[in-house]
Amino acid sequence: MSDFRTPLARARGLGAAKSGAGHFIAQRVSAIALIILVPLFTWSLAKHGFGDYDAAIAWIGSPLGAIVTLLTLTAAFYHMRLGLQTVIEDYIHKPGTKIALLLVNTFIAAGLWLATLWAVLSVAAQQ
């Protein structure tokens, strides 16, 4: 069996960035979740709330609608954050700028998720 790691990496037991495999797997898992959740979300919303604002609000306010919406958008924001993190880490070379952008990326993703959570819970509370 061939080992493609450098001698230093074998000695440390770490890859170049120490967490690349975990990041890669997390991004693939979130992508698989989105492959399942986006069609489910779209189909459910089209079936239960097609063409009518009140029906769409009622569906999002229902337990199933709220869960599907939150799961879909949680996976989407997480996947977005991971993808942008990769772009920032690969193409931004100044350490201060890189750290600032990584923080902004995380805060925007968290802020969007919190806004989604608040909106869905507000709609559900009105039902």
Hey, what domains does the chain have and what are their CATH numbers?
20-126 (1.20.1300.10)
Residues 77-85 have a mean pLDDT of 97
pLDDT digits (tens, 9 = 90+) for 88-127: 999 999 999 999 999 999 999 999 999 999 999 999 999 7
Q: How many CB atoms lie within 10 A of CB 96?
A: 8
pLDDT at residue 16 is higher than 80 = no
Angle at 54 between CA 51 and CA 60, to 5 degrees: 95
pTM flag (> 0.85): no
Residues 35-49 have a mean pLDDT of 93
- Contact of 122 with 102, CB cutoff 8 Å: no
How far apart CA 76 and CA 79 sit, in angstroms, is 5
Q: Which residue has the tokens 């990769």?
A: 86
Radius of gyration of the chain (CA): 20
Q: If pLDDT is split at 50, 70 and 90, which confidence band does 4 have?
A: confident
Beta strand segments in the chain, E: none
